[in-house]
Amino acid sequence: MFTGIVNGIATVVSIEKKKKIHTLTVKLPSILSKNLHLGDSISHNGCCLTVKSIENHYIICDIIEETLKRTNLGNLYIGEKINIERSLKYGDEIGGHIISGHVMNTVEVSKILNFNDNYILWLKLQNKNLIKYIFYKGFICIDGISLTVGDIIKDEFCINIIPQTLFYTTIRHKTRGSLMNIEIDFYTQTIVDTTERLMNERIINVL
């Protein structure tokens, strides 16, 4: 589990691409490699990957086909920066919201507004069916960052970025057309799906 509070930024060192699996090597900031063990979970742009090898500050993880289809990890290139978060431990402060690291799909940056120290990203859903889970002031996880929905128009929504987030994450490097990973808040999804199921059952019973 994660919280959406990015611990640091890692650099992609190498990518070994096979037909249905990529092997990714990244260099972590030294503080994030401390007490890291084989088999540990670590969030790469919000996607939970398992550490298969560690050498000093370098870690290697496999990215399976399903993950490549649903996330932006298949589009990574050598030298690219990615958001990193170590997994949540008992007793840690939850500064964002509970995140599983199971990315649902990607969103495309459709517009960037930057004026008077206000930085706003408009994001377009690649899977329009997910819009039912997006609510004004609701939690959302974008590339591993816990954020709040600022507004919604059709299949697009915006997020307001504070200077702290802008400086300490990769979001400042995004441009129009960039793809970012999205994870819907689990509790929001559960409430929406349960309500939808109960309403459908009631309609069937009435008929």
Q: How many CB atoms lie within 10 A of CB 114?
A: 12
Locate 5 and state its tokens. 């509070």
Rounded to whole angstroms, the Cα distance separating 32 from 64 reads: 24
pLDDT tens-digit map of 20-69: 999 999 999 989 988 999 999 999 999 999 999 999 899 999 999 999 99
Judge residue 137's burial from the number of C-beta atoms within 10 Å of its C-beta, 0-12 exposed, 13-18 middle, 19 or more buried: exposed
Strands 145-153 and 139-142: antiparallel
pLDDT digits (tens, 9 = 90+) for 146-161: 999 999 999 999 999 9
Task: Give the residue ranges of DSSP H helices in 33-106.
Answer: 65-70
Catalogue all structural domains in the chain, each as residue range(s) with its CATH number.
8-86 (2.40.30.20), 105-193 (2.40.30.20)
Q: Are strands 118-125 and 105-115 parallel, antiparallel or unpaired?
A: antiparallel
Global pTM? 0.91
